[in-house]
Structure 1
Amino acid sequence: MKTNKIIYTLISLALVGSGCKKALDLKQQGVYSSGNYFRNEVDAVNAVTGIYSILPEEDYIGHAESTFDTPSDDYWRSGDHGEDEGIENLTYDASNAAIRYPWKWRYEEINRATNCIINIPKITAISTAVKNRSMGEAYFLRAFGYWRLMIIHGDVPIITEADYTSLNFNVPKSSIEDVRKQIESDLLKAVDLLPESYGPVDRGRVSKGTALGLLTKLYMYWEKLPEAIATGQKVISNPAYALAANYADNFTRANESSTELLFSIQAVQNVVQNDFTVYYIPRPWGGYGFSQPLQGLADEFEAGDPRKQATLLSVGDKVDLGDGAGLTTFTADLSATGYAFKKYAVFNTEANGGGVDHSFAVPLMRSADIYLLVAEALIRTQGAGAGDALINQIRHRASASLPAVKNAGMKELIHERRVELAGEDQRHQDLMRWDKKNIVDIAAIYNLAVSKAPLDKSKTVTFVRPKNYYFPLPQVEIDKSKGVLVQNPNFK
């Protein structure tokens, strides 16, 4: 685990005198540490912005985190990362590189957030509004780091403010129950401190609705269904987090200002590469061609559901790559499965130079997800039909011609989550939490997906309970801890 206390260093190097001065003659203009950096409002805002900057990292949300959904029946891993095969087929061990990559970034996010939580309250030259907002952002982003650790690994170390101050980072794992309590505590604070929405200058920062949305998801994974309903309703009932008018609007350049995007990766063309998007785009179009949708996902969409066309590219579809060549045809050689995710194939116009659009805001959490989680909680606590109104809002947003569900149970809810959130890294975790409650048989679902996959795909998923409910801790972190960290059960 990365253990260094975050230091914000600003060094200006300037040549003094003639151009023949050597590097050793350069004068260091200033050094800032966590002890002297936090002086005013600008410093607080910049420090918090530094937490967000971790999200687009290729080995974090930029790509590595999405790898953990590859065992699902929605897609084949594709790509040239050998470590992904072990994740997809659930044959990994604790030395798998894909398990190691995002670990340090989750804790980097936690460390940066904790640094802000400790130091921003000490600033006096700051408005109350900006201080509260900045603290709320830090609490949310720390909770998100722990959320990803908990979802993937279960029991993980919690680094407290006291640990951080004393530089005591080599601590044992906490139980998943305690990790959930830590996430809940941070999110409740974030809800109290964050604004409901932002103006254009601060677009992309997390809001009160973002914190409420993740808290709803936490309660669902915690099996606290009444709490999930009460929390999620605060998102659903607030116009500030309304669904986009059209489903496809969530996956266009214009989505940056969408009320539905509760949380997203923000990037800037020619400044920050949006690896998340790049990984889904076919290689000849400037991407890497990973995570190709399987036929089973395509078959899940009902006839007349426009979400299929908005979600998937299939052979014969036309796309404008912005290269001045007009519409380009999606051909069979662009994907081994015959499909790619259209919702991430976003390109600049010819006037803007064409090519992959790195300013596209990648959705990490949408209001639609929360609608369906509340619908699920209602069905599971009140019975079939209790979630009909919410499910139908999602369906009729997609198309008024889709038939309304009536007396919907978990079968209908599971279908709706699959087609609404396809490719958004929810499927594998959804199936696992439902399997734990005997709502689905994840092993049977995955066996069926393998049997339907083309024979040249090496997707051979065998789900073993309870081993595969969580991934192991990276072996390198176990080794570095000198016995403080203990490996998850079934991986020793």
Structure 2
Amino acid sequence: MLLVTANSCTDLSEDMYDRVGSGNFVQKKDNLMQVIGSVYAKAHNTTLISWFFPQELTADQILTPTRGIHGYNAGEYLRLNQHNWSNLDRGATMAWTENYQLIGFANHVLAELPGTDYTKLGLTDADKKRHMAEIRTLRAYGYWHLLEIYGEVPIVTSVEEPVKAKNTDQEVFDFVVKELNETLPDLPLKSETAPPQGLYRVTKAFNRFLLMRLLFNSEAYIRKPMYDETRKLADEIVSGVYGQYALDNTWNGPFTHNNANSGELIFAFPIEKGQRDEKGWWFGGFHHYQSHLTFGSSYGGAGWNGWGLAPSITAKGEKLNYKLGMPFSRYHAKDLRKKPWNYLGNGNFEGMFLQGLQLAFNKKDTIRGVEEYKGRPLVLVDYVARTSEGDAASGSMLKGEENTGIRPVKVCPVFPDVESQFEAQADQPEMRLAEVYLTLAECELRLGNKERAADLINTLIKRNYAAADWGNAALALPVTAAGLDAGGYRMLEEWGKEFIMEGRRRTDLIRWNKYTTDLWFDHNEPSAAFRNRMPIPFFAMNANPLLIQTNGYN
């Protein structure tokens, strides 16, 4: 990166800097925070489209149907869903670019901070240690992403290193563990930082949360299960060893405009209108061209009608027959999340889905279609079929229409123009205590403690129901130990319902050995086991002759 400092428009003697965080650049604390902030910004990038594509669009819950002339994209979405991608497909390759950019920025900063005189900036050596620990933890976060997607990758810790061959998955795993353990002592607790920095900056809880994720999925990474170690760590996080956190009372508390106040959030990427605002990306990807009329929002323009929930039924109303996928049908009719989205005013909304007949924000005018249903009422459906042409066949994602798919309203939700003060204020959650509860529950299940597993799940999910319904024995809403099957389908259902749209589905399916062996809509046959990992991108192989392609992709 080139950083230029100019005193005036006519001064042609500016100093030129060839690295982020050059010692000449860091002249005051604000400069230092900009340099550190650049690494956080790159970390945020790794959680967006490059993560969403492999984690959600190759799994069973989110679908990108071909909608007439839209969405085929040279077959890339079909290849992702059917596990036929190559090392040229962006869904298989973007994570490489984004995470090595994060690692590169981190390495630049880590090379500069030791030589920075913190006393001249009004800071202390303890501040320097904290900043070094933050950046190393964020670098480990990038390597965890790479381990998750690719397995074996080169470990690069210096901007001066030449190109190098891949490290083994065990070496990458061990490197991340080492980095996290060494940096833990120099990181603060949430309570030791001024709000809201405890949410937006790396803390001890962030560090341990990342280690928990690593250990939890170790069998997929290094072929060694570590559920006992994961359980211990998750128990410590829940009990407050690394800071005080608490489950939110409502399902949408961690997602709404003031979610920075939710005790459930351990870490979030900040969103601010006019600064860092990813609402348009989340909105555009999932919502219909006319959905802004439903939300009463002109901010960010219209959706581009891409993603939606994978179907649960056929166009004839018959329920599909898959053990996975069919996400909308997995929510009980009494689940508060299954209600149609409805704005209640003052920043409050209910329901997690746009579904059925779509009305304008005034609840009076009917939204009309613009393509297959041009001029006709827009009804979002839970099936894939060309019913506008009289074709009720429901077996292919190539047969979508503009109304195909229920649409989730969750991450970075939309707020109406009449209360624009809430727009683009919902931060993007990355680490939630809910994940710790379900991680702990699954560990207990795998270690034979099914009763405690059920109790932990119920502690989390009871917020999704009215108290009267939860206590109604006839509805049988609480999860029971007997209902937790050894195959993991019930556990996967709870993971899916809680974290739909949040970019972890592929990980959970792999952990339960379902990703390549099981079936879902238009993924009608098992895929080869090597598909559990993505290929080394074509451009990376061209740039580095020492890289050897992942087995199976040769």
Match of 1:187 among 165, 176, 180: 180
1:44–1:134 contact (8 Å) kept in structure 2? no
1:199 aligns with 2:265: no
Q: What is the aligned partner in structure 2 of residue 303 from structure 1?
A: 333
CA displacement at 1:50 relative to structure 2:
0.7
Question: Closer, same or farther in 2 for the Cα pair 1:288/1:173, shift >3 Å?
Answer: same
Q: What is the aligned partner in structure 1 of residue 36 from structure 2?
A: 48
The one-letter amino acid paired with 1:404 is P
Gapped regions of structure 2 (runs ≥ 5): 66-70, 219-224, 293-301, 313-325, 340-350, 368-377, 381-400, 471-476
CA displacement at 1:97 relative to structure 2:
2.7
1:479 aligns with 2:542: yes
The residue correspondences of 1:157-306 to structure 2 (distance < 5 A) are: 157-161=154-158, 164=159, 167-197=160-190, 198-202=193-197, 203-222=199-218, 223-238=225-240, 240-274=244-278, 275-284=281-290, 285=292, 286-294=302-310, 295=312, 296-306=326-336
The one-letter amino acid paired with 1:346 is P
Gapped regions of structure 1 (runs ≥ 5): 1-6, 17-25, 436-440, 451-458
Question: Closer, same or farther in 2 for the Cα pair 1:141/1:301, shift >3 Å?
Answer: same
1:426 aligns with 2:504: yes
The one-letter amino acid paired with 1:426 is R
The one-letter amino acid paired with 1:247 is W
Q: What is the aligned partner in structure 2 of residue 30 from structure 1?
A: 15
Q: What is the aligned partner in structure 2 of residue 75 from structure 1?
A: 62
- SS at 1:263's partner residue? strand
1:280–1:287 contact (8 Å) kept in structure 2? yes
Q: CA–CA distance in 2 between the matches of 1:335 and 1:191? A: 49
The residue correspondences of 1:307-318 to structure 2 (distance < 5 A) are: 307-309=337-339, 310-316=351-357
The residue correspondences of 1:61-210 to structure 2 (distance < 5 A) are: 61-68=47-54, 69-78=56-65, 79=71, 81-82=73-74, 83-125=76-118, 126-161=123-158, 164=159, 167-197=160-190, 198-202=193-197, 203-210=199-206
Aligned length: 450
Q: CA–CA distance in 1 between the matches of 2:502 and 2:267? A: 12
Q: What is the aligned partner in structure 1 of residue 4 from structure 2?
A: 10
1:244–1:250 contact (8 Å) kept in structure 2? yes
The one-letter amino acid paired with 1:11 is T
Match of 1:417 among 467, 483, 495: 495
1:88–1:461 contact (8 Å) kept in structure 2? no
CA displacement at 1:38 relative to structure 2:
4.5
- SS at 1:229's partner residue? helix
Q: CA–CA distance in 1 between the matches of 2:254 and 2:503? A: 16
Q: CA–CA distance in 2 between the matches of 1:55 and 1:352? A: 31
The one-letter amino acid paired with 1:131 is K
Q: CA–CA distance in 2 between the matches of 1:417 and 1:264? A: 20
- SS at 1:283's partner residue? coil
Q: What is the aligned partner in structure 1 of residue 410 from structure 2?
A: 343
Q: CA–CA distance in 2 between the matches of 1:406 and 1:111? A: 47
Question: Closer, same or farther in 2 for the Cα pair 1:259/1:188, shift >3 Å?
Answer: farther
Q: What is the aligned partner in structure 1 of residue 427 from structure 2?
A: 361
CA displacement at 1:369 relative to structure 2:
1.0
Q: CA–CA distance in 2 between the matches of 1:50 and 1:261? A: 22
Question: Closer, same or farther in 2 for the Cα pair 1:106/1:443, shift >3 Å?
Answer: closer
CA displacement at 1:86 relative to structure 2:
2.1
Question: Closer, same or farther in 2 for the Cα pair 1:427/1:10, shift >3 Å?
Answer: same
1:157–1:174 contact (8 Å) kept in structure 2? yes
Deviations 1:405-446 (A, max 9, x none): 2325344322211111111122222111211xxxxx445642
The one-letter amino acid paired with 2:137 is F
The one-letter amino acid paired with 1:479 is N
Q: CA–CA distance in 2 between the matches of 1:303 and 1:261? A: 27
Higher helix share: 1
Deviations 1:370-401 (A, max 9, x none): 11111111111134223122111112232344
Q: CA–CA distance in 2 between the matches of 1:281 and 1:55? A: 26
- SS at 1:53's partner residue? helix
1:247–1:307 contact (8 Å) kept in structure 2? yes
The one-letter amino acid paired with 1:477 is A
Q: What is the aligned partner in structure 2 of residue 390 from structure 1?
A: 456
Question: Closer, same or farther in 2 for the Cα pair 1:30/1:120, shift >3 Å?
Answer: same
CA displacement at 1:55 relative to structure 2:
4.1
The one-letter amino acid paired with 1:392 is N
Q: CA–CA distance in 2 between the matches of 1:240 and 1:283? A: 42
Structure 1 consecutive aligned stretches of length 4 or more whose deviation exceeds 6 Å: 326-330
Question: Closer, same or farther in 2 for the Cα pair 1:141/1:282, shift >3 Å?
Answer: farther
TM-score of the superposition, structure 2-length normalised?
0.74
2:196–2:260 contact (8 Å) kept in structure 1? no
Question: Closer, same or farther in 2 for the Cα pair 1:412/1:97, shift >3 Å?
Answer: closer
1:70–1:76 contact (8 Å) kept in structure 2? yes
Q: CA–CA distance in 2 between the matches of 1:91 and 1:250? A: 35
Q: What is the root-mean-square deviation in Å for CA atoms of aligned residues?
A: 2.7
Q: CA–CA distance in 2 between the matches of 1:327 and 1:63? A: 35
The one-letter amino acid paired with 1:316 is L
1:380 aligns with 2:380: no
- SS at 1:272's partner residue? coil
CA displacement at 1:41 relative to structure 2:
4.3
